[in-house]
Amino acid sequence: MPRRPDNLETLHFSLELLKRIPRQRKIDSRNLQLQLKEAGYDRDMRTIQRQLESLCQHFDIECDDTSRPYGYRWKEASQGFSLPGLTEQESLLMMLAEKNLRNQLPVSLMKAMQGFFDQARRNLAHGSSSNSAKRAREWISKVRVVGTTLPMIPPKVIPDVFEQVSQALYNNCWLDIVYVNAQNKRTSAKVMPLGLAQQGVRMFMPCRFEGFDDTRNLAMHRIQVAKCSTRSFQRPADFDLQTYDDNGRFAFGHGEQIEIHLWVKDELAVILKESPLGNNQIITPSKDQQGGFEIKATLIDSALLMWWIRSQGKNVQVLWPAELISNI
């Protein structure tokens, strides 16, 4: 027979429920159960429903019982509930985290944090008159991450696909997918998700197909169906996402290094002095009559390197190696 929870434990459980009930939208008991489980409160549905019924009687919480599962939210005139309260600085941090880390955190964690995100928005709402809230609110419009390439609209990733991939990646579980490649070939497969990488506006999932030991990158927006299985796997000891990236695998390379010798115009040389191509880059004035500078560096041989050289046009000329000259 399960142990009857003590009063203190019931209080903690009630506070966790209250923190997760939103103001502007409704949340059902199923989503609350998932969020509470992530927070360490594993309760059956009936227990959660009974507690919600009790909270509705003592707090300004409305229950939409027109359809099942019931939806819960704070009443329009209510001030809601927050304990402990977030400071303006903490609210600013939460809002920036929600904006910039949405695709880098497990969906379950984002859902569990939704109550804090809602509270942060309320704290920095335009109705907040304190100077610190005003400065924190203004900061959001003062900072921005900008790209170095032509702005493009991100391809759409199916929300349920992202949630299932995130769940499988977080729990080290096999993933059943339906994938459509760039040639419109449709494939059903079981894959071992090993990571997520944001490259510009696109997101990729490095993974291994069942029965194979090579790692491949799948574009998230091309996954049409994904289902996290209950079968777990042992994460490969020979895979490290940082090393995988350092070897140029997201730059369409195979980890092979190449020594390059370039001639660049003065304007590009200034940029490469400030932001070198690599740690071992050597830049010297060119002895040629046309002026400019010569660059020597050892880089990962990849399609991204070739695209960068081509994008520079007449600002750069490959002097060596011969195979790179012929490819350009």
Q: What is the pLDDT of residue 18?
A: 86
**Mean pLDDT over residues 62-73, rounded?**
89
Write the DSSP symbol of residue 313. G
Q: What is the pLDDT of residue 277?
A: 94
Q: Which residues of 197-215 are buried (b: 16+ CB within 10 A; e: fewer)?
A: beeeebbbbbbbbeeeeeb
What share of the chain has pLDDT > 90, as a percent? Answer: 50
- The two tokens of residue 206 are 């490095």
Identify the CA nearest to 43 among candidates 80, 84, 14: 14
pLDDT (tens digit per residue) in 237-261: 999 999 999 888 998 888 889 999 9
Cα gap 195→241, rounded to integer Å: 7
Q: What is the pLDDT of residue 83?
A: 47
Q: What is the pLDDT of residue 165?
A: 97
Q: What is the pLDDT of residue 151?
A: 82
Q: How would residue 223 be classed by pLDDT, with cut points 50, 70 and 90?
A: very high
pTM over 0.75: no
pLDDT (tens digit per residue) in 127-137: 666 788 888 88
pLDDT (tens digit per residue) in 277-326: 999 999 999 988 688 999 999 999 988 899 999 999 999 999 999 988 88
Q: What is the pLDDT of residue 7?
A: 65
Q: Which CATH class is domain 251-327?
A: alpha beta
- pLDDT, greater one: 110 or 270: 270
- Do the strands 253-264 and 316-320 form a parallel or antiparallel pair, or are they unpaired? antiparallel
For residue 226, give the H/E element and its range: strand 223-232
Q: What is the pLDDT of residue 68?
A: 85
- Architecture of the CATH domain 7-74: Orthogonal Bundle (1.10)
Q: Is the pLDDT reported for residue 11 higher than 50?
A: yes
Q: Which CATH class is domain 159-243?
A: mainly beta
What is the residue-wise DSSP string for 146-171?
--SS---PPPPPPHHHHHHHHHHHHH
Q: What is the pLDDT of residue 77?
A: 67
Where in the chain are the domains? 7-74, 88-140, 159-243, 251-327
Query: Phi and psi at residue 196, in whole multiples of 5°?
Result: -135, 140
